[in-house]
Chains A and B, each alone.
Chain A
């Protein structure tokens, strides 16, 4: 059978084709919403119409079998309408209240986790890792699975002072909002890369390789038609590897992860913030990374114990101070915590006011 006629530059189909009738009718005219449980909310329109959303956890990496199962449940209970959230949860869009119970029953019987709405831990935004990425220094999916197993209750039922947004990035490229998450894991390298000069000569452009280095550590090596790296300046970011793969940055023995905390993207109460370094290094320990899970739990427990209602992790830390954060979590403060990248001075303390 011949392949169908291809078309170019048509863009995605119009979004209206995919909206349930109750949304089409009340588009832009919603009045308010209520969170009914950890994973169910109802939106009410000015017309009085309602739509219920049932949120379910997803590993983001989905087989066609599972997607077909979602589709079948959407057809049974939601007129075929389903959406995904920006954190890769699945949302079943229920227009008829009487379908709400049977849907949840079927989801529970199939061991889908209902939750992620309100002041809880929602799904972890994460990257490809060893599953499909060339620059991964850890596996994102495995870390996510281990963390979410540990904190499953905080997804389904238990509450935290405000929502807690977790993220995992498998390298410092950070394809995910790791740099602005409440608690995030980011994989790092710790050794100067090695250079295969013969391959560099054939595969890479010297100027763009030099330009890729944020610290100016790379310079030409004319005798080999290649480049050299100043070990005193290299901060192991791996950007040169992406531009020039013969510069090998991976090192299974020394690669691992750091944990950063206190970031947020929302503007509520306080301005959006970057995540800051809490734990500089934990070695890769697949398949379940128990040391990472324990460190994240330590931070989360301290936050739950110490934060005021509605405070995000970063707001809690700023109120109690970073010196107190290290005290209450018991995490050691090291040279790695003091910034020495090119924009370091903004983080130095220029006041005599601090806590003991």
Chain B
């Protein structure tokens, strides 16, 4: 998931639902599992929410 964030940095802003949809399809796991993993990553500070005319998930700037 973090990799997906890395790949998109500087290209497209990802919405939380984009991540949930892509990963649950790629790895055939449930949306709820991805959602929980995403919550953990945000709680740890490895990913953060940002806002630009809509809410997105990004890797925090170093």
Instruction: Write the residues of chain A forming the contact surface with B, with a CB cutoff of 8 angstroms.
Output: 205, 208, 212, 242-244
Contact = CB atoms under 8 A, between A and B. Distances in A.
B19 to A, nearest CB: 17
Contacts of A205: 12-13
Contacts of B53: 208, 212, 242-244
Contacts of B52: 243
Nearest to A207: B12
Interface in B1-42: 12-13
Contacts, number: 10
A298 B13 CA distance: 49
Contacts of A243: 52-54
Contacts of B54: 208, 243
Contacts of A212: 53
B58 to A, nearest CB: 13
Nearest to A208: B53
Contacts of B12: 205
B27 to A, nearest CB: 26
9 contacts: A205-B12, A205-B13, A208-B53, A212-B53, A242-B53, A243-B52, A243-B53, A243-B54, A244-B53
Interface in B37-62: 52-54
Contacts of A208: 53-54
Contacts of A242: 53
Nearest to B10: A202
A205 B12 CA distance: 7
A242 B53 CA distance: 6
A321 B45 CA distance: 60
A244 B12 CA distance: 14
Given A208-B53, A243-B54, A244-B53, 7 more contacts: A205-B12, A205-B13, A208-B54, A212-B53, A242-B53, A243-B52, A243-B53
B61 to A, nearest CB: 14
B45 to A, nearest CB: 14
B62 to A, nearest CB: 17
A208 B53 CA distance: 9
Contacts of B13: 205
Per CB-CB distance, the 9 closest pairs between chain A and chain B, nearest first, are A243-B53, A242-B53, A205-B13, A205-B12, A208-B53, A212-B53, A243-B52, A208-B54, A244-B53
A205 B54 CA distance: 12
Nearest to B53: A243
B42 to A, nearest CB: 11
- Which of B12, B13, B52, B53 counts the most chain A CB atoms within 10 A? B53
Nearest to B13: A205
A244 B54 CA distance: 11
A208 B12 CA distance: 10
A205 B13 CA distance: 8
A243 B54 CA distance: 8
Nearest to B52: A243
A178 B9 CA distance: 39
